[in-house]
Every structure is written in structure tokens, then in C-alpha cells.
Structure 1
């Protein structure tokens, strides 16, 4: 039996990876788990939460999956991608998919473009603009202590990259205003995997599972997870 663990991002929820999960559920009989990390979900309660609690929650879900399944895939989005690398270094998994993995964060040039786009959209409609909602949640609804814990998490995982040898697919939206392109290049260069592939999505922003390239993304992920040997 195949098990697949999908981990959402910082200040996010399983909704961030829901379209991908739905696609895989329709096309496979895999056991797919999408946990909500401590302090996350529809109502953020991040104050007092530490990064090791995020590690622990993901580890517990992975351990439970490993008890049921022989083959294990881990998919991580944004901060979830960083946590996925941590798991791949510590546990024996079969394949790794990293979506907008946040080893670097905030792309200033794209952020400015996004702000200009919001302004062009008109201030009266600003509250309905998905870009504004995304940045509002990221910036205004997150305590500074949680941001510091996120940075600690990234700093903890970066040195582990050379020790990860599992096949990996690294995905990055080219219009991502949260995680810059250099994060994907950094990952590709530093990760120790002999089998690794970079996939750039030209029309996608940060939330690649909801972006205009999502069906290309889903097809590529399915192909990567199902195929054997080199790619």
C-alpha cells in the first residue's frame, strides 16, 4: 500500500494542497494524510507555538502512515516543503515533492508587482482581491514570535539538505511573490539527491495547487510519483 503525506505552509491549512489531494484521491487508492499543523487552520493561534511542535506533528503523522504503508511519499508546500526535507533526512521515504519550498522567502520584485496589481484593481474592491487577502493574512494576522519560529525552522533544516538522497521533484511558480526563484535553485543545488528535477510554472504565484498551471502540475507530480528509474 502507498501512503502520501501532504504538509501545508506557514499560516496556512490543508486547503492549500486540497486540489492536488483531490486529484490524487480520484486517480489512486493511496492513503493520503493532510494534517493541520499546531496553531494553523482557519483560525490562526500561533502565539506560543514553537517550530519543534510543527516538526513533532508532522513526524507523528508520518510514523502513523509508515505503520500502514510500505511505500511513502511526502509532499510539502512552502514551509511544509522545509518540514518535508526534515522528514526525508530523518526517515526512510521513497519520494519527495517540494512545492514553493520556503528556504528563502519574500520576493521583493514580485511583491511590488503584486501591490501595483492590487492598486490597479481599485481600492474599493481591495478587500475582495485574492492577492490582498493573501498578504493581509501573512503580514497582519501573524505574531512576530511565530515568524521567528519559522525562521528557526528554516535555519535548522538547511544544513540537512546535503544528507537527503531520496528522488525529489522541486516545483516553483515563476510569479511567486512569497518565495523567490532562487529558493528553488538553492534547493536543487544543495539537496543531496542523485535523482532530482526542477519544474517551473510560468503563470503561477505562490499557491501553485490553486494556480492556472495546476493541471500541468498535478500531471507532473503523478508522473513523478508513479514512474520508476531515471527521469
Structure 2
């Protein structure tokens, strides 16, 4: 049985968001892995004019293309990509789901305030140009129109009614220090999803970009074991 993995990045992001996990899977398996770039996304953002329907269709096209080449498809989704992964599981045959910082709810004000406070401190000390969080989000702050954010929220609301219908085996990974998706969102999803075969991993030090967290190697191996089965 040949296996394919479709990895879907997050809102206003790109394939780089899941790259560490993708590289790990490529090193450990012979699976065929596809990481599409959603419309308007990538290293350079051009989101104006694109809608939730575009992003869902991008994912469907990528799924169909991969499904023609392999016997089984696994879908991995980061942030908004996690919600798109659930959408695909509702509509298509998906062997397993992996949800990374899945954005069923978004913006954790407490953690975001801490992050902003840290940025302000580094700005005062003139170290801001070296801060990874600032560099990662500076581009997004300047290049994400409100209309695109509204479409992201529409996408989440579109998929939410179907959580209980998702019965695929699922592994959920969530950082407790996530400033974008409140960490309790993972427990909410775990409780809402209809699957009986589901797992939940909390990273104590993980932030939103969970594939770059300090303990990522721990959950990389656990997720791979889950995907490979008994």
C-alpha cells in the first residue's frame, strides 16, 4: 500500500510553516508528500481578492492529484490548514488526520500580550531586528488585508458544524504558549470531533509555530508512530 501525505499551511503563511515536520517525514519514510501553497500565500503575500472558497478548492485540487498517485492519503494541517484538513476529511477518503495548532478558535489575548511586551522590551533595547517572532510577523502585519482575515473567519465557521461528523483517526498537537490559537482550543476540538481514535499532545513551551518548538522531535516521533499504526 502506497501512502501520500498532504500538508496544508496556515493563514497568511506558506509551506515553510510545516517544513521541519515535512523534512522529518521524508527522512523517516518513503511516503509521497505534497505541500501546496494556497492562493495568495507563500513567501510573498498577495491575499487581496482571494476567498475561503479559493483556499478550500486549492486543497481539494491538491488532494485529488495526490490521491491518484497513492493508495492512502494522510492529511496534516497547521493552523487554518488544520481546519481545511477537517473539511477534506468530511468530503474525501482520508486515512489519518494530524492537526497542528488548529485554528478552531483564534487569538489568545493573554499570550499575545506577553509576546508584544517582549517585543516592546527588545525594541527598547534595540534588538528587534534579531527577534524571530517580530521578523516572522512584521511581514504579515503589513500585508494581510482585513478582507482576507474575514475570509479566514468564514472558513472556520463553515467547517465548525461538521466537527462531530469527523471520525478519522486524529492526532492533535498544540503549544501551551500559543499566542494565536488559545491552547484550550485543542481540548475543545478533541471533545467535539466524532473520532474514537484520537490523541492530544500539549507542548509546554510550544508557541503557534509548533513545528519549530523546542520539543518538536518528541511529538514528531509520536505522530509518526501513530501514522504508521501498530
Partner residue, 2:228: 226
> Would you say the 8 A contact 1:209–1:217 is kept in 2?
no
Please show how residues 48-197 of structure 1 align to structure 2 within 5 Å.
48-123=49-124, 124-197=126-199
Q: Is the deviation greater in 159-168 or in 181-190? A: 181-190
Alpha-carbon distance in 2 for matches of 1:92, 1:189: 22
Deviations 1:146-177 (A, max 9, x none): 00000000000000111110000011001100
Which residue of the other structure, out of 189, 192, 203, is the alignment partner of 2:205? 203
Alpha-carbon distance in 2 for matches of 1:48, 1:7: 20
> Would you say the 8 A contact 2:46–2:143 is kept in 1?
no
Alpha-carbon distance in 1 for matches of 2:51, 2:121: 39
Tell me how far 1:33 sits from its aligned partner: 0.2
> Would you say the 8 A contact 1:11–1:40 is kept in 2?
yes
Consecutive aligned runs of 4 or more in structure 1 exceeding 4 Å deviation: none
Structure 1: 5+ residue runs without aligned partners? none
May I ask how many residue pairs the two structures share in their alignment? 228
CA RMSD, aligned part only? 1.1
Alpha-carbon distance in 2 for matches of 1:4, 1:69: 9
> Would you say the 8 A contact 1:104–1:182 is kept in 2?
no
Alpha-carbon distance in 2 for matches of 1:145, 1:116: 28
| TM-score, with length taken from structure 1 | 0.96
| TM-score, with length taken from structure 2 | 0.96
> Would you say the 8 A contact 1:11–1:137 is kept in 2?
no
Alpha-carbon distance in 1 for matches of 2:205, 2:219: 11
